[in-house]
Structure formats: structure tokens, C-alpha cells
Amino acid sequence: MHDQATVLRKMASRQNVKPAGLRIISVTSGKGGVGKTNFTVNLALSLVDFGYRVIILDGDLGLANIDIACGITPHFTLEHLLSGEKTIEEILITGPKGLGILPGGSGVQDLANIERANLENVIRNLGRLEGMADILMIDTGAGLGHTVMNFLKASDDVILLTTPEPTAVTDAYGILKALRSDDKEVLVNVVINRVHREADAKATFERLEKAVNKFLHGSVNLLGWVYEDPLVGKAIMNQEPLGVTYPDSSAYRCIQWIAGSVSGLYLQPPRKAGGIRGFLTRLLRPF
């Protein structure tokens, strides 16, 4: 694994690079229980450390828990914005290190089915995120739900989290298969979580990559891996992110390394960021 010095060199290499528009990155997993929400929060915090302004949209409709991971309590959610009761500024919460959090609630599903009468208000409110952040990260629900797949296809970049467990890898492949179902190329960046050795991470990725190459005639990119670390569980119990409670832990150092690679998306992006308007256009296309 790259060491801390490598991360710092990557930080230095992008200090003067400014993102061209708000970039939307969805983090997903084929199954629950692989550590997706904690990874999302800590990746966001690492990117904040790198100098980016980051906002997380809690997009897990059934188990919205970004706020729990950060030890904060939301009073309003995306549902209040879609109904016109609140503005984007009123529902946005400031978390650790200035990280922005947009609680989703049932409004996440409603976002993919916006009534045209409310569309102008939603675009106007969400459009203000362009001036508030460089990156909008979406912590999607696990699995192949309709709302999850629409978020993934509408995002600029997708990060797929899995573990070496066979069921997790199988379900991750299911996500990739669903993304290829409409013959639209979506570049997916894979992170292997909870590994004991570098060799385990690489072997897991190779199994997934071979299946994608053989059966889907596509490709995936290994973004990095995160070591199994007992401090992750302690941070969860404390309801504080790992990057705040144990910033020197092995797991968080791995995530910092991955954040360095995510920063590289601005240096050589696979596709230009579409911003909020582009995201909503792609999200609403099926309707």
C-alpha cells in the first residue's frame, strides 16, 4: 500500500487544480453490511483534508444513517425541500471538519420521481450546491433498487465497495451487470474493504475483473483497499468518524490513499462533470 508520504505528494500535485464544476460521486455496494456508509463519511473527510468542499447526500432510503455515523441529529430532510417547506440551506447540516450533510429520508425516492410542477424549485435549490461544494457524494442504498440504479447512472463517477466474502463479490457483480444492461458504459471504481493482506485485495479484484471481462465485456478499475481495523468498530460505537477519532489508524490511512486517487479524477477525468443540472437531467431521463 502507498504510504503517507505518497498521499502527501498527491496532495501537493493537485493544490492548484480547481474542479471544473460540481462533481457527483455515488458510493454503492451489492449488499448491506460491507461498511459503505462509514467508508463514504471517511472518504469525504479525507477529501476535506485535501482542500475540497464536500457535501454528502444520504441516499439510503431504508437505512439512512450518515447522521448517526457523524453523531448529529437532522431536523429536516430532502423531503422538506421537495415539498417546498424548506430551502437547501435550511436542511443542510454542518458535520465534522465542515463536511456538509444532506439528510435524505423518503425524499430520496421522491427525487427520482419529481413532479414537474416542483422541478423548477428543486433545480433552483439544488443548483445552489454548485457554489457550496466541489464534490457531492451520494451514499446510496445497497442492492439493485430502482432509485439506487438511477443515482448510479446519473453520477459522474461510481465507487463500488465490496469485501472478499464470496457473497459480497457476487452481489457486487450484480450491480455491474445491472449497470451494463442498457449498453451504456459506466466506469466503476472498485474498493475492497476489510482485507487482511494486500494480496487478498488484489485476488478479490481479479476475480471480479475476470467475470466482468468475460461475461459483460466491460472493465472495472481498482481504486484501492482498506485493511481490517478494530478501531473502525470503536469509532462506530463512539458515533464519531474514524477520521476524527482515530486519524492515524491503518484503515483511515488507506482511505486517505484512496482519496488521493479520487483527487486524480480532476486531473484526468473519465468524463466532464455535469454539475447538478446534468445530474438531474440524467436522473429524470427515464421518466
CATH number for the domain that contains residue 211: 3.40.50.300
On whether residue 283 sits in a domain, the answer given is no
Tell me the mean pLDDT in the region 97-109.
83
Average pLDDT over residues 106-111: 70
C-alpha to C-alpha distance for 5 and 164, rounded to whole angstroms? 27
In the predicted model, is pLDDT for residue 212 greater than 50? yes
pLDDT at 180 over 90: no
Residue linked to cell 463500488? 160
Question: Within a domain: residue 185?
Answer: yes
- The fraction of the chain above a pLDDT of 70, given in percent, is 83
The lowest-confidence range among 89-93, 144-148, 188-192, 270-274 is: 270-274
At 8 the pLDDT is 47
262 within domain boundaries: yes
For 218-277, write each residue's pLDDT tens digit: 899 999 999 999 999 999 999 899 999 999 999 999 999 999 989 876 555 455 677 888
In this prediction, residue 2 has a pLDDT band, given cuts at 50, 70 and 90, of: very low
- For residue 29, what pLDDT is reported? 93
* Stretch 129-152: mean pLDDT: 88
Looking at per-residue pLDDT, the higher value among 26 and 116 belongs to: 26
277 falls within a domain: no
pLDDT of residue 287: 45
Q: Please give the average per-residue pLDDT across 168-187, as a whole number.
A: 85
Residue 287 in any domain: the answer is no
In a domain, 171, yes or no: yes
Which of residues 154 and 272 earns the better pLDDT score?
Answer: 154
What is the band of 106 on the pLDDT scale with cuts at 50, 70, 90? low
**Within a domain: residue 272?**
no
How many CB atoms are closer than 10 A to CB 3? 9
The pLDDT of residue 3 is above 70? no
Given this model, what pLDDT does residue 185 score? 67
pLDDT at 107 over 70: no
Range of the domain at 91: 4-13+21-267
Cell output for 135? 464534490
Least-confidence region, from 18-22, 51-55, 229-233: 18-22
Confidence of residue 68 (pLDDT cuts 50, 70, 90): confident
List all residues 6 or more positions away from 227 whose beta carbon is below 8 Å from its beta carbon: 1, 194, 195, 196, 250, 251, 254
What's the number of domains the chain is made of? Answer: 1
| Residue 281 within any structural domain of the chain | no
Q: Given pLDDT bands bounded at 50, 70 and 90, which one contains residue 67? A: confident
Q: What is the mean pLDDT of residues 134-138?
A: 94
